[in-house]
Amino acid sequence: MGEPRLPDLQSIFDHLNRLHFGGRLSARLEWSDRLTRAAGKCYQGPEGATIRVARRYIEQFPDALPNLMLHEMIHLVTRGHGAAFKAEARRCGVEPNQAFIHCQPFAPPRPVRYVYRCPVCGREYRSRRKGQWACGACYHQTGRRHRLRLVAALEPRSPGKTARNPASGRGLAGKGKTTENHGPSGFDNQPRRGR
């Protein structure tokens, strides 16, 4: 029987381009097996624009492809999801809330593995990756980089269970502010000099 046939991205792009943009847009179109947190991405590179569409998303939601493609095409005209994006979506006949449907992650969230705490402000950060991080909150307030300390390495757990700090037995979110993070973006992970 074989794999299900995927729609032709180019024909959908060409149709929407003629219908909404007078045929003036151009982009390289690609299926992506790597996208799991977004249904589509629009990149502006030195060789022009590229629109990538998550194969898994379209396999789960095949009727969403025209709306998804239009959303990414609007990104060829405007950046971000601000007022200009919303105005362009309305011009194309799509209410902005409908244009954002595909932005929700469709893959289950990956488990947080590590909890770090700033020794100065006490803010906790959760991450899937182990590393050497500095507190972004302290850096933005004081300009100083305070190295975060690893306070818990969590075992993979089933949904609905509360993570516990093995040292104290308390829930991890019990003290100070906690920031859920899925990688280095919430941390100031710039290399520090002189250490």
| Interval 107-150: pLDDT, tens | 666 778 899 999 999 999 888 888 888 998 888 888 888 999 99
- Report the run of H or E that residue 151 belongs to, with start and end: strand 149-153
Indicate whether 128 and 162 sit together in one domain: yes
Distance CA(140)–CA(167), nearest Å, equals: 30
Q: Mark 105-141 as b/e (b = at least 16 C-beta within 10 Å).
A: ebeeeeebebbbbbeeeebbbbbeeeeebbbbbbbee
Which range (72-76, 119-123, 191-195) has the least confidence?
Answer: 191-195
Q: Is residue 72 part of a domain?
A: yes
109 domain-assigned: no
The span from the CA of 131 to the CA of 20, in Å, is: 46
What is residue 100's predicted lDDT score, i.e. its pLDDT? Answer: 64
Mean local confidence (pLDDT), 61-84 = 90
Are residues 124 and 49 located together in one domain of the fold?
no
- What tokens does 126 get? 């959760």
| Confidence band, pLDDT 50/70/90 cuts, at residue 4 | low
> pLDDT class for 173, splitting at 50, 70, 90?
very low
Asked whether residue 108 is domain-assigned, the answer is no
Are 139 and 188 in contact by the 8 Å Cβ rule? The answer is: yes
Residue 107's contacts (CB-CB under 8 Å, 6 or more residues apart) are: 36, 37, 56
User: Which range, of 67-76, 84-93, 174-183, averages the lowest pLDDT?
Assistant: 174-183
Residue 82 has pLDDT above 80, yes or no: yes
Whether 193 is in a domain gets the answer: no
Domain presence at residue 194: no
Enclosing domain of residue 139 = 114-186
**Residue 94 contacts residue 68 (beta carbons within 8 Å):** no
Strands (E), 77-128: 114-117, 124-127
The pTM of the whole model exceeds 0.85? no
Domain boundary among 79, 103, 127: 103
Shared-domain flag, residues 88 and 169: no
The H-assigned helical ranges of the chain are: 9-21, 55-60, 65-77, 83-91, 96-99, 136-142
Region of 27 (left: φ > 0; alpha: ψ -120 to 50; beta: rest) is beta
Q: Residue 58 contacts by C-beta under 8 Å, 6 or more apart in sequence?
A: 6, 7, 39, 64, 65, 68
Q: What is the pLDDT of residue 101?
A: 58
Quote the number of domains for the chain: 2
What percentage of the chain exceeds 90 in pLDDT? 34
Judgement on whether residues 89 and 174 belong to the same structural domain of the protein: no
pLDDT-derived band at 77, boundaries 50, 70, 90: very high
